[in-house]
Amino acid sequence: MAETAQQVPNPYRTTNDLIWEGVEAPREEFGRLQPPWPIPEKIAIKADIGHHYRAPDVIRISLECLDAGAGAVHLHVRDDDGKDTGDIGLWREVVGEIRRQAGDDVVIDSGLRGDSLEERLLHIREGLFDVVALLPSWDPRYLEYPIKEAREAGVSTEIVCWDATDISLAKSGLIDTGLFDRPARWLLVPSTPYYGMPMPTPELMVRGAMHMVDLVRAVDPEGIITFSAAGRPGSYFLGLAVLLGLHIRPGLGETHWRWPHSEDFAEDAVELIQDAADLSKALGRTPADSAEFRALTGMPARRG
């Protein structure tokens, strides 16, 4: 049956008419016109507890960070002389106690620790780390060894990029050569005081961050990206990551200030993790526990 003239929608509705129709529309219509953004509800928070602690404090602070909302911990250990060490005995003590108290699902993350290649590989072979962070600026012929050991041990790897050039090096040396499978894990650590992409203003922080994300996406469209709280923009950089649906690494490793507009120095890793967890929750994202962290970042279950 043909519509009458009175039934045909008025093509000359005003903007005001459309606004009021929108206000009065059912929620289902809102959802049809503006579907949800593709952002995961869960967020993977990796706590960087800092570089300056001996074994007992590393254990204590790691457990407190996990309680505050982290699903993983990034660790360094100092020896009795205060030197960053790869001493296998100390690492067994630290990792064993964290796993004993936090459970086997807890994600332990570190770089290559030790003075020799053999010492560095031993940590991987023993399964002390669940994730090993690697720098694309290192010679790929050297990185072949820890990457091979990690695959055989069921240990995950992560590409650490301090600036845009690192992403290009990762493409040529790690991705194109097949050393890293895609999707890969990427940790972006710009704007440290001595190295990385400068971010002296909020605008340049956003542009620089998006440039790095776009470069990663061009190389690895499904790559899993984590922002580290680095340098002056640290906490705001994390806020941008939460908004973008990415993951975050707060803590004391590369963080110097609590906020970029303040001289309030960052001194408490647990406080920074709590800040990051609260921020994530305020923006509708829930911190993942360790098991969820593994799933979100494409990690296998721990072999035990």
d(CA 92, CA 296): 27
Pairing mode, strands 286-287 and 42-43: parallel
State the distance between the two ends of the chain, measured CA to CA, in whole angstroms.
Answer: 71
Q: Is-contact 248 45, C-beta < 8 A? A: yes
Strand locations in the chain, DSSP E?
42-43, 46-48, 72-74, 107-110, 131-134, 156-161, 185-188, 224-228, 247-249, 286-287
- Answer whether residue 1 shows pLDDT above 70: no
Q: What is the DSSP letter of 226?
A: E
- Please write the tens of the pLDDT for every residue from 219-244: 999 999 999 999 999 999 999 999 99
**Separation of alpha carbons 61 and 58, rounded Å:** 5
Per cent of the chain over pLDDT 90 is 84
Query: Is there a contact between 150 and 124 (Cβ–Cβ < 8 Å)?
Result: yes
Phi, psi of 181 (to 5 degrees): -80, 155
Q: Which of 102, 33, 32, 113 is nearest to 65 (CA)?
A: 102
The Cα 89–Cα 78 span in angstroms is: 12
- E runs forming strands in 29-137: 42-43, 46-48, 72-74, 107-110, 131-134
Percent of the chain with pLDDT over 70: 91
**pLDDT, mean over the chain:** 92
pLDDT at 186: 98
The pLDDT of residue 29: 83
Q: Is CATH 3.80.30.20 the right assignment for the domain spanning 42-296?
A: no
In degrees, to the nearest 5, what angle opens at C-alpha 99 toward C-alphas 95 and 103? Answer: 165
Residues in the chain: 304
- Cα dihedral 285, 238, 219, 224, rounded to 10, equals -40
pLDDT at res. 244: 98
- Is omega for the bond preceding 183 within 30 degrees of 0, making it cis? yes
**What is the tens place of the pLDDT at every residue in 167-213?**
999 999 999 999 999 999 999 999 988 888 999 999 999 999 999 99
User: Which band of pLDDT confidence, cut at 50, 70 and 90, is reported for residue 17?
Assistant: low
E runs forming strands in 136-204: 156-161, 185-188
Tell me which range, 5-14, 20-29, 257-266, is most confidently predicted by mean pLDDT: 257-266
Chain segment 128-179, per-residue pLDDT in tens: 999 999 999 999 999 999 999 999 999 999 999 999 999 999 999 999 999 9
